[in-house]
Amino acid sequence: MLFFTGQICPTCGSTRAILSLLRGNFKMYVSYQPMAIPLVIAVVLCIHLQFIKKPLKEISAAIVGATLFLNTVFYILRL
Taking the CA atoms of residue 15, residue 18, residue 21 and residue 23 in that order, the dihedral angle to the nearest 10 degrees is: -60
Running DSSP on this structure, what letter comes out for residue 13? T
Encode the chain (79 residues) as per-residue pLDDT tens digits. 778 888 888 888 999 999 999 999 999 999 999 999 999 999 999 999 888 888 899 999 999 999 999 999 999 998 8
Rg (CA), the chain: 14
- The predicted pLDDT at position 54 comes to 85
- The predicted pLDDT at position 18 comes to 94
* Torsion angles phi and psi, residue 25, rounded to 5: -100, 85
- The predicted pLDDT at position 15 comes to 93
What's the number of CA atoms in the CB half-sphere (13 Å) around residue 73?
7
- The predicted pLDDT at position 4 comes to 85
Burial zone of 40 (CB within 10 Å; 0-12 exposed, 13-18 middle, 19+ buried)? middle
Q: Please state the domain extents for the chain.
A: 2-78
